[in-house]
Chains A and B, each alone.
Chain A
Amino acid sequence: MSKISTSESSASHLVSYPKFIWRMLVLATEGNWLFYAWMIGLTAVALVGLNAWAVQVTEGMGVTNMTDHVSWGLYIANFTFMVGLAAGGVMMVIPAYLYHDEDMHDIVIIGELLAIAAIFMCIGFVVVDLGRPDRFWHMIPGIGKFHFPVSMLTWDVIVLNGYLLINLHICGYLLYNRYRGIAPNPRWYIPFVFISIAWAISIHTVTAFLYQGLGGRPFWNTALLAPRFLTSAFVSGPAFIILALEVIRYLSKYKVGDGAIKILVNIMRVTILINLLMLVSEVFTEFYTGGSHTASAKYLYFGLHGYNALVPWIWTSVGLTIVAAILLLRPKITQCPVMLITACVLAFVGIWIEKGMGLIIPGFIPNTLHEIVEYLPNGLEWRVSAGIWAAGLIIYTLAIRVAMPIFTGEVSLKKDTHV
């Protein structure tokens, strides 16, 4: 490469990159009435959540139902689940690149965009859980005090942000080149794809370690926690992506091949069963051994000393997961969209309960002095959480809205210059 051609190409980037950004902005605000209605609805929910959070910052976190006994609640529950969803996003990536499955290549980006949106939601749930969000900068290495490597939370900050950057890079790079009508240079994204696969496992493992490493909380202090995190992520991630693909298939003009959905269903068939198996193993260890370590599990599944707020939650979760597993095992499920969508929704909600409320809250009940103080989220916590979900869905919708036309070549630099 001569010097001139490099400077030439960077000069052309100076023109085409702003154009690319501008085109994305334009695309993001265009759509049919359904798109507008959806976005306006989400924006309204997000604003309600924002307002609830503003009240929480002003009045103090006493406006939530959390206490010194159950000091993490719905926010951290959602955070934990969301990490799983982010990792699950790469489920699309593995078959596509590892096995060179052509059917998957084109829609891999749907999974990676999901990872990006999910990480934004993770960050949101952590921020709303802070008593002093104004001191967020204390965590920034260099200006603040970053307690690395001792605190697992600092590891989590690193892996989550790293994962976000990797996925932003892959998506941005692929889209930009598609837009310019140039074949992407594998050197610039294939290594990152492999890193992102390994990294997806790391965000999960590190998040599980957050809880798993606490000796004073027997419910979390089990080696099975991290592997179970991974398996359930590989249920919820594909479930969400299948749902997204179905929506795209029915509400837009883009073709979604059956091949991708079949692969995802096959993945879910395996992971949902492994997840159930691990559940059985966990329950067996807890209840067959007995002793005071069992108190949290007893509370969760059957109630303890007359306290049983979580019992309906966890059995709903178990029920939903089992029904989803049975539906998924039917050989013809991919030909029956209604059944497929039902199975995915059930699995998704089941895992949301299990990896959220079912995992975080029993860690605190009974508390470390064996007192039982129950917790259920209040209206404000639901509003804040719904707001973050809505914001995440806004990001995801916009991302797909922008990515699809560029990916299918409907919008490109060439067409834009010739208009």
Chain B
Amino acid sequence: MSDPNTTESTNGISRRTALKGVGATLGAAAFAKAIAPIASWAKDQSVDEFLQNHYRELSPEQMQKVIERIEAETKEDYGADVTIKDAKPQAGVKFAYALNLSICVGCRKCAKACHIENNHDRPSGNSYIRVLEMKKGSLDMEHGRADYSGPVPKSDSFYMPVQCQQCDNPPCVDVCPVEATWKEKDGIVAVDYNWCIGCRYCEAACPYHARRFNWTKPQVPKVEITPVQGYLSNRMRPQGVMEKCTFCMHRTREGKLPACLEACPTGARVFGNILDPESEIRWVLENKRVFVLKEELGTKPSFYYFFDE
């Protein structure tokens, strides 16, 4: 009985106990107050979304339900009526992209088209494409800058747009702790927006600055929202998850071309199925001296660059 606390008078102990009770009550009240913002946030989260399984585990019926729910949520949050489709990779197709650095003028129309097509957050002006202005005479990105301005093209520069390279050996896929990102059969690296936990490990791992995080809930005016959307591509993304270029899979899997290619005024961009011997992309790969970015990292990009001369 050497502890001074236990030698106190009975009176002292009961007063102490009462104080402890008051303390605990105050503490609990303060806790509730501190956590209050979460309670309001939780109200907007649906139980179905919380329990939703991984994209690749969903049965067609479950997928149907999920799509209906997300369409309704888009209506509620943005006021827009959208149709969400889930186009699958086609057999015998593997996509590749090539970009002619001799004729790209750095107008950033591709980046703009991406911004619109993929329903990017308007205030941040986000896009999956960054165009680098590079000094002629060096291919080292250290001599490039993305924040150039003024009339283009400048005579001492060439321009190099960079977007997801859809690597065949993608570090972003390897590092994801929950398999929220993976490589589809046609070579496109996809993200399940309803499975990603937002750890941003993939963003640290990607050597091409290709991934984008939804730091806030994307804001897009109702009239500008694309009415037909892809489940794994340009549908509205939730806050707190990762996204990236999908080679516009909602278009390309249905035989159309990516939005960035259609927007390019110079024809610098070539897109197609490398498994098709007649395709233009095959011709470029076979006849031009193409190169990939950061080849030494072993990421095996499906995105090629070349010069005309």
A residues touching B (Cβ–Cβ < 8 Å)? Answer: 29-31, 40, 43, 47-48, 50-51, 54-55, 57-62, 66-69, 71-72, 126, 129-136, 138-139, 144-147, 150-154, 157, 210-211, 213-217, 292, 295, 363-364, 366-371, 405, 410-411, 415, 419
Please report which residues of chain B, range 193-236, place their CB below 8 angstroms from some CB of chain A when the two chains form the complex: 195-201, 203-209, 211-217
Closest to A363 in B: B204
A126 to chain B, nearest CB (A): 8
Given contacts A57-B41, A213-B175, A216-B208, 16 further A-B contacts (CB under 8 A): A50-B31, A54-B34, A54-B37, A55-B37, A61-B240, A69-B209, A131-B199, A131-B242, A132-B197, A133-B197, A135-B178, A145-B54, A145-B180, A153-B177, A214-B205, A371-B147
Among A54, A136, A211, A292, chain B packs the most CB atoms within 10 A around the CB of A54
Please report which residues of chain B, range 166-189, place their CB below 8 angstroms from some CB of chain A when the two chains form the complex: 171, 174-180
Which B residues touch A145, using CB under 8 A?
Answer: 54, 178-180, 195
User: How many angstroms between the C-alpha atoms of A61 and B217 in the bound complex?
Assistant: 10
B residues touching A (Cβ–Cβ < 8 Å)? Answer: 1-3, 5, 20, 23, 27, 30-31, 33-38, 40-41, 45, 50, 54, 130, 132, 140-142, 144-147, 162, 171, 174-180, 195-201, 203-209, 211-217, 238-242, 294, 297-299
Among B35, B147, B198, B297, chain A packs the most CB atoms within 10 A around the CB of B198
Q: Can you name 11 A-B pairs with beta carbons within 8 Å? A: A54-B41, A58-B40, A61-B240, A72-B204, A131-B213, A131-B214, A131-B239, A132-B238, A157-B177, A369-B146, A371-B146
Closest to B57 in A: A145
Which A residues touch B175, using CB under 8 A?
Answer: 151-153, 213-214
Contacts A151-B174, A367-B209 given; indicate if A292 touches B38 (C-beta within 8 A).
no
Check if A217 sits within 8 Å of B204, measured CB to CB. yes
B295 to chain A, nearest CB (A): 12
Check if A147 sits within 8 Å of B204, measured CB to CB. no
Check if A369 sits within 8 Å of B144, measured CB to CB. yes
User: How many angstroms between the C-alpha atoms of A144 and B51 in the bound complex?
Assistant: 10
A98 to chain B, nearest CB (A): 35
Which A residues touch B212, using CB under 8 A?
Answer: 68
User: How many angstroms between the C-alpha atoms of A145 and B132 in the bound complex?
Assistant: 37
A95 to chain B, nearest CB (A): 31
Contacts A129-B199, A132-B240, A292-B142 given; indicate if A30 touches B5 (C-beta within 8 A).
yes
Check if B177 sits within 8 Å of A151, measured CB to CB. yes
Check if A368 sits within 8 Å of B207, measured CB to CB. yes
User: How many angstroms between the C-alpha atoms of A144 and B57 in the bound complex?
Assistant: 11
User: How many angstroms between the C-alpha atoms of A234 and B22 in the bound complex?
Assistant: 42
Contacts A60-B215, A60-B217 given; indicate if A216 touches B171 (C-beta within 8 A).
yes
Which B residues touch A151, using CB under 8 A?
Answer: 174-177, 201
Which B residues touch A134, using CB under 8 A?
Answer: 45, 50
User: How many angstroms between the C-alpha atoms of A37 and B247 in the bound complex?
Assistant: 59
Which A residues touch B196, using CB under 8 A?
Answer: 131-132, 135
Q: What 5 A-B pairs are tightest by C-beta distance, nearest first?
A: A131-B198, A216-B207, A131-B240, A62-B215, A60-B216
Which B residues touch A367, using CB under 8 A?
Answer: 209
User: How many angstroms between the C-alpha atoms of A59 and B240 in the bound complex?
Assistant: 10
Which A residues touch B214, using CB under 8 A?
Answer: 60, 131
Which A residues touch B239, using CB under 8 A?
Answer: 60, 131
Check if A216 sits within 8 Å of B147, measured CB to CB. no
Check if A139 sits within 8 Å of B178, measured CB to CB. yes
Which of B3, B34, B130, B297 has a CB less than 8 Å from the CB of A369? B130
Check if B179 sits within 8 Å of A147, measured CB to CB. yes
User: How many angstroms between the C-alpha atoms of A332 and B212 in the bound complex?
Assistant: 55
Which A residues touch B206, using CB under 8 A?
Answer: 216, 368
Check if A59 sits within 8 Å of B216, measured CB to CB. yes
Which of B198, B216, B294 has a CB less than 8 Å from the CB of A62? B216
User: How many angstroms between the C-alpha atoms of A62 and B241 in the bound complex?
Assistant: 12
Among B2, B33, B239, chain A packs the most CB atoms within 10 A around the CB of B239
Which B residues touch A68, using CB under 8 A?
Answer: 203, 209, 211-213, 215
User: How many angstroms between the C-alpha atoms of A139 and B196 in the bound complex?
Assistant: 10
B2 to chain A, nearest CB (A): 6
Check if B37 sits within 8 Å of A57, measured CB to CB. yes
Which of A31, A57, A71, A419 has a CB less than 8 Å from the CB of B200? A71
Contacts A153-B175, A369-B132, A369-B209 given; indicate if A71 touches B203 (C-beta within 8 A).
yes
Among A47, A55, A151, A211, chain B packs the most CB atoms within 10 A around the CB of A151
Which A residues touch B141, using CB under 8 A?
Answer: 369-370
Contacts A129-B199, A131-B213, A144-B178 given; indicate if A71 touches B142 (C-beta within 8 A).
no
Contacts A132-B240, A368-B206 given; indicate if A216 touches B294 (C-beta within 8 A).
yes
Closest to A39 in B: B23
Which A residues touch B201, using CB under 8 A?
Answer: 151, 153, 210
B73 to chain A, nearest CB (A): 16
Check if A214 sits within 8 Å of B171, measured CB to CB. yes
Which B residues touch A43, using CB under 8 A?
Answer: 27, 30
Check if A369 sits within 8 Å of B198, measured CB to CB. no
Check if B20 sits within 8 Å of A154, measured CB to CB. no
Closest to B175 in A: A151
Which B residues touch A154, using CB under 8 A?
Answer: 177
